[in-house]
Amino acid sequence: MKENFNGYAAGIDIGAGSGAKIGIFNKEGELLFEGILPVERYGNAPEVMADGLAEVIKNLSKELKKNARVVTAGIAMPGFSCSDGTIRCVNLPFLNGVHFVEIMKQRLRIPVAAFNDADAGGMAEWSKAKTELLYWVFGGGWGGSWISRDGKVNYPAVDWNGDDETLHFSNEPGSAIPLRKEWLAKKIEGEGGSYNDFEKVCLKEWKWRGNNITGPSNRDDCVRAELVVSGNGRWRLFHTFAVKFNDYIKHVSEEEKKDLLSPSVAGKILDKLAEIGVEAIKRADKVFAMALAEAAEMHFRGGARGNCPDGIPIYVGGKPSKAFKFFAPLTHEIMAQKGLKSRMQVSWFALHGLNANLFGAAVLAWRNFRG
């Protein structure tokens, strides 16, 4: 690409909750303009969604200087990409199995590429750190990516066949890494809680098949790591301990009590309670830290699926990154006891209040454009 090239990239971060975030970036990766397509305008149809995204990009492009235009686009998706151009997207069923990239190419008339949103976040971190790294993002689940020194995603879950045993731990740690129920029960009960209460919280939140919580490959002896190690996992642990430790009640308003019932909005209140030092969240964060350290050991030492080199930095994004100080010290202490050298740090983008997925989508857009 010529130095005087007057083109821009569109980064798109498709979320299943509040909507899709869209940004216009220059070739240096700087965000110039930003917009959003609310989830209400998705229309439950890929063509309707593509029309909405194209309209937002068109409106943002009007802010560019004369004769400048968007020449490439990248999409961060809450799912997996396939080599045939389709995507697997359980969170947005109307996109599952759809050639969405081709639909967007038709709408925008420019090159378009898409990949997993956790991979996008990792690529964004690499664009700043320029070193081999792990990216862990905690939200409703626990996603991740292992980025090589030259900025490539190792073991991306492309063409995933639905078999948990084929997932690499670095790419889908929350889904692929198991935590033994016996181990988890011991840790929860060691902090004065009840594993039965934990299961009740999970069963009330989701309708599990046969009322039986299972782990990777539907194993009955374990749970998926993200059931505990995630933003929602921290919420589940809090409500587990809140059954016996209800000292938090005097510190929250009636409105906050209602918000505590929803994992999507409870994070700020949990952080507030952690600052105060109430027992339910203190104990929850302790189990969270222990579970993360246990999962980290498998992440690095889990054979062919856990062959990521120990010692590389781990960047943490997502909502629990704001609670980093409440769980990270104990996690690092236990990891050190296990002989692990890697340590976590809060994502550069989280520290600056920026959307790593959006920036990563722009990195992908420019790479695709440059070939």
pLDDT at 1 (0 to 100) = 44
b/e per residue 261-276 (b: at least 16 CB within 10 A): eebeebbebbbebbee
What CA–CA distance (Å, rounded) separates 6 from 69? Answer: 7
Question: How many Cα atoms are found within 13 Å in the side-chain-facing hemisphere of 30?
Answer: 4
What CA–CA distance (Å, rounded) separates 132 from 126? Answer: 7
| Assigned CATH for 144-351 | 3.30.420
The structural architecture, per CATH, of the domain 7-110 is: 2-Layer Sandwich (3.30)
Sorted by where each begins, the domain ranges of the chain are 7-110, 144-351
Give the residue with greater pLDDT, 252 vs 84: 252
**DSSP secondary structure code for residue 142 in this structure:** E
Count Cβ atoms below 10 Å from residue 253 Cβ, excluding itself: 9
Do 7-110 and 144-351 fold alike per CATH? yes
CA 329, 334, 340 angle in degrees (round to 5)? 105
pTM for this one?
Answer: 0.92
Q: Write the pLDDT tens digit of every residue in 171-195.
A: 999 999 999 999 999 999 999 999 9
159, pLDDT greater than 70: yes
What CA–CA distance (Å, rounded) separates 312 from 197? Answer: 37
The residue-averaged pLDDT of 205-214 equals 82
pLDDT at 84 (0 to 100) = 81
